[in-house]
Amino acid sequence: MTDLNTLNRHLSRPLVIKGQVIPKRVILAPMAGLGHIALRHLISGFGGFGLLVTGMCSAKAVPHENPDVSLVFKWRQTELPHTVCQIFGPDSGIMAKAAERIEREGFFGVDLNFGCSVSAICKKGAGAALLKDPDKAFSIVNEVRKSVSIPVFVKYRTGWENNPGFAVDMARRFEDAGADALTFHPRVAPDRRNRPPRWDIIGRVQKAVSIPVFGNGNLFTREDAAKMLRQTGCMGLSVGRMAVARPWLFAEWSNGFIPPKDIYYTTAVRMTRLLETHYNEFFSLKLFKKFSPYFCANFKFGHDILKRLSRAQTMEETRRTLETIFNADPETLSRPNPHLFL
Ligand SMILES: Cc1cc2nc3c(=O)[nH]c(=O)nc-3n(C[C@H](O)[C@H](O)[C@H](O)COP(=O)(O)O)c2cc1C
């Protein structure tokens, strides 16, 4: 599966998750600080995805969170039918209560974070810490399953040791506990994306369960997408950082969208406008600076572009800087440069 048409056809086969059909087999990975309402709005304009996923939301906060002031628990009504809300927490009752609100608001599904290895999250016994206490993780899946009828997703990684058998066993038990789909990132928990993910384990995980597995980790180009599908047989793909660098990637991989030459400039400017639509000036600037390293990774001299963008003090100045940068027609890379981000 090397040419774009074959990849398009493959990713455009509908996929059923708990009786609900998603039109495309490539979804956004959850990303705190990056997968916010403005990025999802931007991606929605291009289309081509099966689902969008929010960054992780604290399950403790979700039941009383106010979307008008929250940075993360915030959405557009029109995106709800194809958006999954991710939650984290160590307690099954609290996770279930959060899932109930997520269902009431009208999200497509709820995703349980059993993969985040950031110490602030693990110290609370949440995220990847739950892979050290599998029974607790299964009881969370079970409790959430009982409390809602929307699809329940689990996002997890290999575990704390490089033991594929553990990841496979977890997948089976997540399915038994009531999960409807898995997103699997084949890295061990202390590894913060500096070693290559072991895609071979994705294949083993998908073979062990009958529910869809979305393979995740280092999907940079459409050749990578075709290779992961071919090598692992996973039913779907989950794309994180490259969806920030190239928000049109879903449309390209699954709809045959051919990006016009000015796509980089128009997309960056649109991002500034969408941030301002959903956030105040302070947070717009802050979130644009989080987006910038991924966006700048598209260019041969991305470090220099990033330096110039990071000096901007306002959104207006950001747009003026973008105009100057793109007037010089910067050279793009076919594979984004991973040295600009982790
Ligand atoms: C800045 C950043 C924030 C992330 N936040 C989350 C998160 O909130 N929940 C989660 O399950 N994974 C999170 N991840 C992990 C991604 O979902 C994904 O597993 C990882 O980036 C590998 O996929 P990729 O190579 O396509 O980026 C985050 C990753 C990054 C780079």
Let me know if 303 is exposed, middle or buried by CB neighbors in 10 A (0-12, 13-18, 19+): middle
Same domain for 277 and 228? no
CB 58, CB 88: distance < 8 Å: yes
| End position of a domain, from candidates 196, 228, 255 | 255
CA 115 to ligand 1 center in whole angstroms:
9
Same domain for 230 and 115? yes
Distances 307 to 88, 103, 246, 281 between C-alpha atoms, Å: 34, 42, 19, 20
Range of the domain at 102: 4-255
In whole angstroms, give the CA distance from residue 211 to residue 273: 39
CA 112 to ligand 1 center in whole angstroms:
13
CA proximity to 281, closest of 319, 338, 239: 319
| End position of a domain, from candidates 223, 255, 287 | 255
What the block records as the tokens of 238 is 């989950």
Same domain for 171 and 243? yes
What the block records as the tokens of 337 is 């440069």
Q: CB within 6 Å of ligand 1 — which residues?
A: 29-34, 55-56, 86, 113, 115-116, 155, 185, 216-219, 239-242
User: In a 3-state reduction of DSSP, which class is residue 229?
Assistant: helix
Site to probe by mutation for ligand 1, drawn from 26, 27, 28, 31 as the one with most ligand atoms within 8 Å of Cβ, is 31
In whole angstroms, give the CA distance from residue 254 to residue 239: 13
Same domain for 203 and 154? yes
Same domain for 13 and 99? yes
pLDDT band at 146 (very low <50, low <70, confident <90, very high): very high
In this predicted model, what pLDDT tens digit does every residue of 11-24 receive, in sequence order? 999 999 999 999 99
In this predicted model, what pLDDT tens digit does every residue of 241-266 receive, in sequence order? 999 999 999 999 999 999 999 999 99
- The backbone torsions φ and ψ at residue 221, rounded to the nearest 5 degrees and listed phi first, read -130, 170
| End position of a domain, from candidates 255, 281, 300 | 255
Known active-site residue 116:
yes
In this predicted model, what pLDDT tens digit does every residue of 66-77 receive, in sequence order? 999 999 999 999
For atom 26 of ligand 1, the residue with the nearest CA is 240
Domain count, the chain: 2
In whole angstroms, give the CA distance from residue 163 to residue 261: 45
CB 113, CB 126: distance < 8 Å: yes
Same domain for 270 and 244? no
Q: How confident is the prediction for the chain on average, in pLDDT?
A: 97
pLDDT band at 2 (very low <50, low <70, confident <90, very high): low
Same domain for 177 and 277? no
CATH number of the domain enclosing 221:
3.20.20.70
In this predicted model, what pLDDT tens digit does every residue of 96-127 receive, in sequence order? 999 999 999 999 999 999 999 999 999 999 99
pTM of the model: 0.98
What the block records as the tokens of 273 is 């406008």
In whole angstroms, give the CA distance from residue 120 to residue 71: 18
